[in-house]
Amino acid sequence: MQIIYFLFGAIIFLILVYIVLPSFYKKYIFHYPSKEFLNSGNICLTFDDGPDPKVTLEVLELLKSHGAIGTFFINGKSAERFPEIVKAIQKEGHIVGEHGYDHLNAWKVSPWQYWAELTTSKRILDECIGENEERYFRPAYGKVNLLTYLFMVRYKRKMILWNANSNDYKQITASEIVENVIRQHNAGCVVLMHDGCINYPEMGDVKIEAIQRILKHPRFSGKEFVAVDTTI
Ligand SMILES: [Zn+2]
């Protein structure tokens, strides 16, 4: 009987250390974005899950025509297929960050699968745009575990979350996406958007339309569309 209690206790302890404490830290102790950024009222557009051969290239055109800077959290598997687009993102002066290789959820896969997810994505981006001493990182689904932090310490990654969710990964209209962003813009906002179309490939045009409207929305006149380095 005692061995059962011991095993039960050990499992609880491991879950606590591996998932609960890292998640608690992310939610309640890790402060992001910075006060200065919140006070600025500026907008930081972030695009996850790309590159996508259609959407990403159109987003780059839109950002260029509005003099805006974007931050792209790249899916390693897509970067393997479209390395030229990742290079183009960097060449245009935007920021390239890591987002894992295959969009695995840190809570739902084994530690070795998750470590491979992070390190493979790093290797692919290193090969694509050159090694970088420091890089920004956004965990898939915003989910973290102990390995997320070990990875960030080991490779000097800075975690970037968001405080405005456009919900553009759902099947919604461009107006709803814009409305979601406007509603959450009470201060400087880091907007979660997706140039990658993992769930609904047909949403590409809707996202482009929404980004276009956001970039010229009167709500943001006088504000800047800035890169992620100004938000920490
Ligand atoms: Zn994602």
And the tokens for 27?
A: 């939610």
Alpha carbon of 177 to ligand 1 centroid (Å) = 17
Percent of the chain residues topping a pLDDT of 70: 100
What's the pLDDT tens digit per position in 63-101?
999 999 999 999 999 999 999 999 999 999 999 999 999
For residue 142, the CA-to-ligand 1 centroid distance in Å is: 8
Q: What is the per-residue pLDDT for 199? A: 78
Give the Å distance between the CA of 196 and the centre of ligand 1: 8
Q: Rounded to the nearest whole angstrom, what is the distance from the C-alpha of residue 6 to the centroid of ligand 1? A: 38
Burial of 226 (0-12, 13-18, 19+ CB in 10 A): buried
Ligand 1 geometric centre to CA of 3 (Å) = 41
pLDDT at position 221 over 80 = yes
In 3D space, the residue among 145, 17, 144, 124 whose CA is nearest the CA of residue 78 turns out to be 124
CA 26 to mean position of chain CA atoms:
14
How far apart, in Å, are the Cα atoms of 80 and each of 51, 139, 148? Answer: 10, 19, 22
- Residue 7 CA to ligand 1 centre (angstroms): 35
Quick check: 10 pLDDT over 80?
A: yes
pTM above 0.75, yes or no: yes
Nearest alpha carbon to residue 33 among 230, 212, 223 = 230
Distance between Cα 8 and ligand 1 center (Å): 34
pLDDT at 190 over 90: yes
Average pLDDT value for the chain: 94
**Residues whose CB is less than 8 angstroms from the CB of residue 94 and which lie 6 or more positions away in sequence, other chains included:** 60, 63, 69, 70, 71, 72, 227
| Ramachandran area for residue 72 (φ above 0: left; ψ -120 to 50: alpha; else beta) | beta
Cα-to-centroid distance, 73 and ligand 1 (Å) = 8
Average pLDDT over residues 29-42: 94
pLDDT confidence of residue 198: 77
The model's pLDDT over 197-216, given as tens digits with 9 standing for 90+, comes to 877 888 899 999 999 999 99
Distance 38 CA to ligand 1 centre (A): 23
The alpha carbon of 162 and the centre of ligand 1 are apart by a number of angstroms equal to 12
What is the 47 CA–ligand 1 centroid distance (Å)?
9
Residue 127's pLDDT band (cuts 50, 70, 90): very high
Beta strands in 172-229 (DSSP E): 189-194
Counting other chains too, the contacts that 4-13 makes at CB distance below 8 Å and 24 or more residues apart are: none
Amino acid at site 101 = Y
CA 10 to ligand 1 centroid distance, Å: 32
Cβ–Cβ < 8 Å for 49, 25: no
Judge whether 195 and 185 are in contact, CB under 8 Å. no
Q: Is the pLDDT of residue 155 over 90?
A: yes
3-class DSSP state of 196: coil
Task: Find the 103 Cα to ligand 1 centroid distance in Å.
Answer: 6
